[in-house]
Amino acid sequence: MLRALAHPVYRRLFLAQVVALAGTGLATVALGLLAYDLAGADAGVVLGTAFAIKMVAYVLVAPFAAAVVARAPRRVVLIGADVVRLLVAASLPFVGEVGHVYLLVFALQAASATFTPTFQSVIPDVLPDEDDYTAALSLSRLAYDLEAVLSPVLAAALLLVVSSATLFLGTAAGFVASALLVASVTLTAVRQPPGPDDEPDRHGTFGQRLRRGTTVFARTPALRPVLALNLAVAAPGAFVLVQTVAIVRSTFGQSDDVVALVLAANGLGSMAAAFALPRVLRRLPERRVMLAGAAALVVGAASVPLALAVTSPVAGLVAVGALWVLIGLGWSSVETPVGRIIRRSVPARDLPAAFAAQFSLSHACWLVTYPLAGWLGAAVGLAPTALVLTGVTVAATVAGGALWPRTTPDPDTVEPAGAHTAVS
């Protein structure tokens, strides 16, 4: 995994990704605390809406932004996106209205929706060797998992000595460091001209690309269960991210730093699964691993009302933390093998459309579950909301199992997929 770090350019780009993710993690904690300051017990409504706005940016803005900046130097695009993000992050401590939060969150996520696909397009050119590129993908996954664990812990430590608003300044500092690291490298490689497999829809509108990818998913039996399992992840995941602050602050009456630690428990479970899955997947098929992960999500979500009924704050938070670890394990177990299934099941010419569809369709699930978790929590309470989302998870898991084909695709009928194409 560490072999990719031997390349100086990639090493700096990876460090840029890490510091930007650390800043984003601080912003996630700080945004939850800001929502509580502005809306009190209705913070879940604010967070649910803010996260829904994030998903709108990811689903809709990313392809449009990619088309707009397609001919621009990619280093300029990356630095520009970081500059926008640091300006937004530096503005958030001064927000006093919920509407302003929504506007700034959209600007922040639109910049991230520009940065992320551009960053992904750079790495295959920096690391042309397939083994190095595969190692880079593993490092990227680990970076996301570490961010989920370490950023809340860092936030908890900072909250011991600074106010919650100061966390946004830490976010801005992360984006400054990212921009400086990107500026320190020379990206001489350019995109290759379209080849025979690059059909016009690859450069078409968002609607054209979305329809193409959706068609690939619909006609490929091995990908149909992925559609259902995306929803199985999004339902309990949205509850964790939206309602943790309300559970810790309102239900158990604890402080801001405890919010960060409880969120870190979810990241810890996800990271543990990420470390174990390479060996597990060598012994077990994806179907068994992913459905077991979905079952863990069901158990975790269904047990939330029991944890909320615990009268002792310490015991209750320990129970919630354990459930968040379980949900993190299930979350990563379902998501990690998806790329393997897509690459095995889809011909090389359709991989860009298939990966784009997975990105859009999975985020569309979150677009539904984020506001559902927030608004339903405010309307009927946390325990009933957890049960509703458990029902969604059960239905999605059953559908995923039912849709899963009993035979795997014949590798001789599927064109081999190169690493570059897999992330286009």
**Half-sphere exposure for 255 (CA within 13 Å, toward CB):** 8
What CATH number does the domain containing 110 carry?
1.20.1250.20
Residue 353: per-residue pLDDT: 61
Q: Domain end: 167, 191, 215, which one?
A: 191
Q: Are residues 173 and 243 in the same domain?
A: no
Residue 226: per-residue pLDDT: 93
Average pLDDT value for residue range 242-247: 90
- For residue 225, being part of any structural domain is answered with yes
Q: Are residues 261 and 164 in the same domain?
A: no
pLDDT in tens, 403-417: 998 765 544 444 444
What is the band of 200 on the pLDDT scale with cuts at 50, 70, 90?
very low
- For residue 301, being part of any structural domain is answered with yes
Residue 155: per-residue pLDDT: 72
Average pLDDT value for residue range 211-240: 88
- Closest Cα partner for 126 from 185, 73, 67, 198? 185
Average pLDDT value for residue range 243-263: 87
Q: Are residues 185 and 205 in the same domain?
A: no
Q: Are residues 99 and 242 in the same domain?
A: no
Q: Are residues 181 and 263 in the same domain?
A: no
- For residue 196, being part of any structural domain is answered with no
Q: Are residues 329 and 397 in the same domain?
A: yes
- Closest Cα partner for 274 from 155, 359, 153, 148? 148
Average pLDDT value for residue range 287-297: 95
Q: Are residues 267 and 328 in the same domain?
A: yes
Domain count of the chain?
2
Q: Are residues 12 and 158 in the same domain?
A: yes
pLDDT in tens, 5-51: 888 888 999 899 888 888 877 777 777 777 777 777 777 777 777 77
Token pair, residue 393, equals: 């998870």
Q: What pTM, to 2 d.p., does this model score? A: 0.70
- For residue 382, being part of any structural domain is answered with yes
* Interacting residues of 182 by C-beta distance below 8 A, sequence separation 6+: 12, 13, 16, 75, 78, 79, 82
Q: Domain end: 157, 191, 225, which one?
A: 191
- For residue 370, being part of any structural domain is answered with yes
Residue 178 is part of which domain span?
1-191
Q: Are residues 268 and 329 in the same domain?
A: yes
Residue 423: per-residue pLDDT: 32
The answer to whether the Cα torsion of 344, 346, 347, 348 is positive or negative is negative
- For residue 27, being part of any structural domain is answered with yes
Task: Match 């605390």 to its residue by tokens.
Answer: 33
Average pLDDT value for residue range 372-390: 93
User: What is the C-alpha separation between 268 and 263, in angstroms, rounded?
Assistant: 9
The answer to whether the Cα torsion of 342, 344, 345, 351 is positive or negative is positive
pLDDT in tens, 295-335: 999 999 999 999 999 989 999 999 999 999 999 999 989 98
- For residue 112, being part of any structural domain is answered with yes
Q: Are residues 52 and 154 in the same domain?
A: yes
pLDDT in tens, 337-360: 887 787 778 776 666 567 667 777
Average pLDDT value for residue range 74-88: 90
- For residue 284, being part of any structural domain is answered with yes
Q: Are residues 173 and 239 in the same domain?
A: no
Q: Are residues 278 and 235 in the same domain?
A: yes
Q: Domain end: 162, 191, 220, which one?
A: 191
